[in-house]
A and B are shown apart, each in its own frame.
Chain A
Amino acid sequence: MRSRTFAYSWIEFLALLLPIAALAGEHTPDEHAAHRAAMQSNKFTVEQASYAVPDIVLVDQDGVEVHVRDLLSSGRPVALNFIFTTCTTICPVMTATMLQMQGQLADDSQTPDFISISIDPDYDTAAVMKSYAQNFGANWTFLTGTHDDVIKVLQSFDAYRGSKVNHFALTLMNPGDNASWTRVEGLTSAMELARIWRKISS
């Protein structure tokens, strides 16, 4: 008696599950399809955007106060990315790529100010940022600050995604002189970044 009941419910369950599995996809083997696609794709997107830079004071890796509005909307050419120092995946790559890009643009007449902003201001104090920058041999400005201030800046650039684990590769470039921002989402080679810069700054 017990085995018959069990066999009945097993088949019923199976019959129910097949179409559900196809529709829901939650427990099918392909639950990581999006991640895999991201992993195999080397694509990145480039679009234009406008951002209102807030009137906020952050600090650089030497503890010196920096008025974000002066730095980022005064008409100077800027290349900006967002990192945190204990990131294991994309941030070391982004910093190294920015460094390589800086090197490739060294002889250009139009080069941007390079800036990196921490998305983990609680851990990334000025001293920690300095050590991170030195490890890469990066000589540009690394910014951090109080949690609330940094979040405001991140939000103004549509770079805030809540928990660190949801962060993403984002590079913003502005040739200056009231131009709009060029938003590069995704990882690129240094050459590709340099090429985008040259295109927008010419």
Chain B
Amino acid sequence: MRAAAIVVAVLATTATAPSFADEAQDPLWSAGRSIYYNAARIDGSPIRVTVQQDVPLPPGSGACVSCHRRSGLGVAEGGARALNVSGPALFQASSVPPIRPAYDDALLARVLISGIDANGQPLSDLMPRYELTAEDALAVSRYLRTLGTEPPPGLTDTEITIASIVVPDSPDGERAALQAVLPEYVKVKNGGTRHEQRRSEMSSRNYYGIKRYRAYREWKHSFWRLTGKPATWPAQLQKYYAESPPFAIVSGSLGVNAAIVDDFCEQMEIACVLPMTSLPPAAEDSFYSLYFSSGVRLEGRLIGRHLARVMSSTKGGVLLVYNKDAEGLAARQAVRDGFASDDPDLISDYAMKPGKIPSARDWARMLKKSGATALVPLLSAAQLQNLTSTKLDRLLVPDVIVTAQSFTNWSDVSGAEGIIDRVKHVYPYNLPTANASQFPREDVWLRSRGIDLPDRISAAKVLFACKALGMALADIQSNFSREYLLESLEHALDNSFLTSLYPRITLGPDQRFLSRGAFLARVTMVEGKPQITNGVWMQP
């Protein structure tokens, strides 16, 4: 009957939340889920947890999800191994080590309470012992029976469906990168997959068949192009999903309303791997979406921290000029957060109509009025053109100017040579070098496919997103769980050298930003053009 329910859910053209619509009505299942995720009952009462024989864990700690993870497939980390507790694994006899009979409700209750496994042997001291009532244990059992049983959409025996999302306000450079890189990557991958599939067929016939080859699928990729106002996007996303639900969403360009897509991916429980956006959701508490960095908020915080250092030995204040749009407002708040001063009046800010180009007179007026000794123009290169103008009295321009890459591309600023010696620029990527490629790992592939775009950063980001997804799919082999895909990325990307975009990427369980710092760089004239050079890495 549950199978029928799943079929109905998949076929429904107005499908919304996919997982276990029926189960969620079942109070025992919900109770079990609560214990699995929070080590607490639905009413909030915590379950007492003891580990390492005599060590109590604080309320909420030691929940099953910590080690066995959302997928239930477990983890190997820190010298410890948490086993696969998904329904199909747990409630069947295991013929691969650890060899044991199937768990049932009674055996599961015993192992959770006293740590004695289905073989009658005590589990390692690292597995917590839980003070569960009989009802609690039955609830956990009910939940685990369903864990990992829902077949993910977007998969057939030979194909895996992938999608990338583009929004109306996607920057041109990101659009061009997606158009050029994604279809080419898919083409190259599927070209290789053809041969892997043959190996897969051979290995399936072989008793010693190798699991990895059986996991190969051709990528069936499409773009989801959203149109119109953001309020209409959730319905458009649902429509795309209903027509062809993907296994994962990769790359894409989400503009400043990334939160809408983030919410969709949380609701539909679908992995969203490294989309491009300057404004991901503020809190790092989504499970399904993985981002490059926190974008303008990261850059803003670093500007604030730098200013706090500089202004502690300088008199006067800061003038922050920003566009009155989502990015500008978020960056302004982040600068203030990073500055963290007792005296908020030290920063005076000026909200500009987005895209307006202040004249030399406008600059003079703003600078004179504020009396600022530091200027933070969170504006585009075009908007800065009169700041560098000779019509503006240079004496008015502060000695300290701090800019951010999300707003200002210095190579596009004309007449910059007059002020760049005062500028420090927050640059979140690997620094450009004179005679070598800035992103060697990506450039090798891009050049080999004849892709030479002006926006190299976006091209590199799209490529890296594809590579990360490809690597994750290879890692999870035939365990096609969307949660396991993300859990695998959490480990595989930490300290990885898969990309040259950043000097270092780090990731961990429940972390969703790859890069958490940026260079504070200088701008110098190189062959008549302003170039980012010399930087010191800063962390918030």
Which residues of A line the B interface, CB within 8 A?
10, 13-14, 17, 21, 27, 29-30, 32-33, 35-36, 38-42, 84, 86-93, 96-97, 100, 120-123, 125, 135-137, 146-147, 162-165, 167-169, 186-191
Contact = CB atoms under 8 A, between A and B. Distances in A.
Given A165-B491, A168-B78, A122 B55 contact: no
Given A189-B53, A189-B54, A164 B495 contact: yes
Nearest to B495: A163
Interface stretch (B60-68, B229-237, B273-281): B60-68
Given A27-B210, A93-B55, A189-B125, A32 B81 contact: yes
A113 B56 CA distance: 21
Given A27-B208, A165-B78, 19 more contacts: A29-B96, A32-B97, A35-B76, A36-B98, A39-B83, A39-B124, A40-B124, A88-B77, A88-B509, A90-B126, A96-B51, A96-B56, A122-B517, A123-B506, A125-B539, A146-B537, A146-B539, A167-B77, A189-B125
Size bracket of the B interface: 35 or more
B522 interface: no
Nearest to A83: B78
B79 A90 contact: yes
6 contacts: A32-B81, A88-B66, A88-B77, A96-B55, A122-B517, A163-B494
Contacts of B121: 40
Contact of B58 (A39, A136, A163): A136
Contacts of B81: 32, 35-36, 38-39
B297 interface: no
Contact of B79 (A38, A100, A191): A38
B57 interface: yes
B77 A120 contact: no
A169 B78 contact: yes
B54 A86 contact: no
For B57, B77, B123, which residue has the most chain A Cβ atoms within 10 angstroms? B77
A86 B206 contact: no
For A89, A136, A137, A162, which residue has the most chain B Cβ atoms within 10 angstroms? A89
Nearest to B212: A27
Contacts of B539: 121-122, 125, 146-147
B52 interface: yes
Given A32-B97, A36-B98, A146-B539, A100 B54 contact: yes
Given A87-B508, A125-B540, A36 B97 contact: yes
B97 A13 contact: no
A121 B517 CA distance: 11
Closest 6 CB pairs of A and B: A163-B495, A90-B78, A35-B81, A189-B53, A86-B508, A89-B80
A125 B517 CA distance: 12
Nearest to A100: B55
A135 B121 CA distance: 33
For A10, A33, A187, which residue has the most chain B Cβ atoms within 10 angstroms? A187
Contacts of B52: 93, 97, 187-190
Contacts, number: 149
B258 interface: no
B511 interface: yes
Contacts of A35: 76, 81
A92 B97 contact: no
B58 A135 contact: yes
Contacts of A36: 81, 97-98
B330 interface: no
Nearest to A90: B78
A121 to B, nearest CB: 8
A98 to B, nearest CB: 9
A30 B53 CA distance: 29
A122 B77 contact: no
B69 interface: yes
B85 to A, nearest CB: 14
A88 B506 contact: no
For B75, B97, B121, which residue has the most chain A Cβ atoms within 10 angstroms? B97
B66 A92 contact: yes
A190 B125 CA distance: 12
A33 B125 CA distance: 18
Interface string B489-526: 00100111000000010101111000011000000000
Contact of A165 (B60, B97, B494, B517): B494
A162 B491 CA distance: 12
Given A86-B511, A122-B517, A187 B126 contact: yes
B366 interface: no
A167 B77 CA distance: 7
B509 A86 contact: yes
A14 B207 contact: yes
Nearest to A191: B54
A39 B96 CA distance: 16
B82 interface: yes
Nearest to B52: A189
A162 B385 CA distance: 46
B512 to A, nearest CB: 10
A90 B79 CA distance: 8
A84 B77 CA distance: 12
Contacts of A90: 77-80, 126
Given A13-B206, A88-B66, A187-B125, A96 B58 contact: yes
Contacts of A188: 52
Interface in B285-302: none
Contacts of B506: 120, 122-123, 164
A91 to B, nearest CB: 7
A97 to B, nearest CB: 5
Contacts of B491: 163, 165
A64 to B, nearest CB: 15
Contacts of B509: 86-88
A168 B205 CA distance: 40
B62 A84 contact: no
A83 to B, nearest CB: 10
A89 B82 contact: yes
B306 to A, nearest CB: 15
A188 B125 CA distance: 8
Contacts of A13: 206
Contacts of B66: 88-89, 92
